[in-house]
Structure 1
Amino acid sequence: MAGALNGLRVLDLTSVLMGPFATQLLADMGADVIKIESPAGDTVRGIGPMRHAGMGSIFLHVNRNKRSLVLDLKKTEGLAAFLKLVETADVVVYNIRPQAMLRLGIDYERLKAINPRIIYAGLYGYSEKGPYAGKPAYDDLIQGAAAVPSLMSRASGGEPRYVPLTLADRTVGLMASNAILAAVIARHQTGVGQAVEVPMFETMAQYVLGEHMAGATFEPPMGETGYPRLLVQERRPYPTSDGHLCVLIYTDHHWEKFLGLIGQGQLFEQDPRFASIGARTQHINDLYRLVAQAMATQSTEVWTARLNEADIPCMPMHDVDSLLQDPHLLAVGMLQDVQHPSEGHLREIGVPVSFSGTPGLSVQKPAPRLGQHSAEVLREAGLSDAQAQALHKQCVTRI
């Protein structure tokens, strides 16, 4: 069956990670995403490991279920072909600065005149309404601007560090897919499209401040910023006698059961630190230290069995290698063996969401080679094979 977004056509001008992740989410749910690349291709194509040039591992994991069209938008003929595609498209997504889009001649006003139903979604560093407008932005810079390394330092007591994930890119990509779909729904009601701005800094500020504004929520402030439970040094995977275990003791029930397991059940009624969630939060580092001391006395297997029996949440601590062997992920199809037409046998990351009536397309179309679909997309736009060949000879496209 077709995916939930079957019939939605997206012109994807994005590159690297944030934008491609957003558009892959749409593609996974059935949208026809046409990835429009320069003749040099998306930069991430070159990040290895890879079996063939231009097909790096990160690229493979954010560009599946898309079609690749090469167009040199800096050339008159390439821009003309793109504007022809806009006539029948639903969404245009880009992640370069708006000033660069204006120089290319692909601003919202121009596209709206061609197709009033077009949704024009820009993903970039900072809102155009503020003093940071137009500044370059990358994941590391946005993590820093949004206080993430500072929080890492407060929690660990060490130097500020970036989270070793492209946290901002993926968070903003997810926000962008939500915003695009909201605009699609609005268009069903109004009949017209709109421009959508998804700035990285503001998105990540919302992400961080929702938990860590804390006392600064109030005027005058009622205390410091920061959510204490997330910032104490003892919030970590706990060493057991033979490994590590992730344990979250959170509710009254959890603490009462855990204290009973370690032979200190009387503390739940007698120690004021356990009297309420507020009291526990105030003293959370001490309480987590108590947990850490207990965990070190027995093996991961023993503690897992005891905690499961007591209905206390726990999970093993994976590394990336063991995550790839997780039995649950394998059972639900999150890690699939696929055969790529040029790259051979690959391990593909599945789609985490599911629909009972309109299932996602999952990995039915692996990430495309550069320009793999140029001829067919140009043909759909009304260009003849001879015209496409002429564009190829002019180095406007790649067939």
Structure 2
Amino acid sequence: MNRPGPGLSTIAIHGIPHRRPDWSPVAPSLYQSSTFVNPIGSDDEVLYSRYGNNPNQVELAKKYALLEKADAAIFVASGMGATALAHLAVLRPGDHLLSSSWIYGGTQRLFDEELGRLGIEVTYVAPDQVRLWRKSVRKSTRAIFVETPTNPLMRVIDLGPISYLAEEHGLALLVDATFASPVNFRPLEHGADVVITSATKYLNGHSDVIAGAVAGTASFVEEVNRLMRLWGQAIDPHAAWLVDRGMRTLAVRMERHNSNGMAVAQWAEQHPGISKVHYPGLPSHPDHAHAKLVLTGFGGMVGLEVKGGTKATERLLKRLKLVTHAPSLAGVETLVSEPRLTSHKGIGPE
């Protein structure tokens, strides 16, 4: 009889459970060192934190790979760093990228301003237009990028048709699932090849770290690691230690995020001053039926549209006491931000 493996909560705390040696520390040690003693005459790879092989970096990546059910993973200095290196690992000059048009503003600026300079073309497709995805594939297309749930409208994309298209044409499917966390959604289980996350958000959960992570096949992560060393994107050992600290409470925090998010969304939907609520847990959300099928929970992100526009929104924000007006998300405190001035600043209203 096969015993069931450890659950996500256990993995987030222990990784692969193992018996600890006597007198060993219960809390993981912090290896706050840039370099390590190298044996004389050894041609083994040196231990150097910029290479991503500091023990804190390595153990954190192993644990995250288990959560995403990936072969391997790597942590880098930011979520944008993870997005950039993941795409550089699969794209070359002359290649073509198909991207969802429903994406984080920083990602769109990366694609528009930087990939073009490298000779990589990007075509944006509305993710609900399945036929348009197929029509947009070229001979030079090498990858597809999707964000789900989306920022800031919380759309939940059906990866099924997109992953089928990617497999049919031999394309890499990269998915940013930052707004879900691996507790609520694991893209690799739905046909993705690569999962990207801003570890600044749910994984760390304490608003005190900037970090990103990428998970996928061992060969893909090896290429990301090669690029990380060249582009200088390694995560600091202390940041890795803090993310690991945050991940130990990831499962219980997500339970509370899910329940609080639903409570806020239900309250807001009945409030006369709110014109629209974007939350996949509500039956009124356009992707509610699909979200129920693929998400374990609906998360702590709620998008609100305030009646009266900008002036009414600013009046509301000035009255807040418990909720803090600041960019970012998914910490233990409640934050509110205006995408028009933060994540999507400079991007057209469409």
**TM-score between both structures, scaled by the size of structure 2:** 0.24
Whichever of the two has the greater Rg, that structure is 1
TM-score, length-scaled by structure 1: 0.22
More helix by share: 1
